[in-house]
Amino acid sequence: MRIRGWHVDVGNINTYTSNGGTRSKRSPLEVDFIAGRGNQKVYIQSAYRMDDEEKIRQEKRPFLEIRDSFEKIIVVRDRILPWRDENGILIMGLQDFLETWDREK
């Protein structure tokens, strides 16, 4: 992504949950990569595999806490057909990501 002109960082998203009183508990969630170029931003999670519901939930969780409309992508090692879930999160294989993702932008 850096070769294609993106600035790439590791990201932390702070979420706050109420304990029923006036205090809230901060829970940091990590996003593997946050990339920016001009007015574009993309959040990327990388996963070796997502072969069970718990792993899928774990990888999606930070994205569900982000309240903006920038692209959110989960990249997995396996060759899979790219698809979007009900939240608009793009799930795609590593090879497709490296070969095609930024070329359509």
Q: Are 61 and 29 in contact (CB under 8 A)?
A: yes
Q: What is the DSSP string of 67-96?
A: -S-SEEEEEESS----EE-TT--EEEEHHH
Residues of the chain with pLDDT under 70: 16-26, 103-105
With residue 74 as reference, give the H or E element that holds it: strand 71-76
pLDDT of residue 21: 63
Structure tokens at 8: 């790439």
Sheet holding 7-18, edge to edge: 7-18, 24-37, 40-47, 71-76, 90-93, 83-84
pLDDT of residue 41: 93
> Residues 11-40: pLDDT tens digits?
887 776 666 666 666 677 789 999 999 999
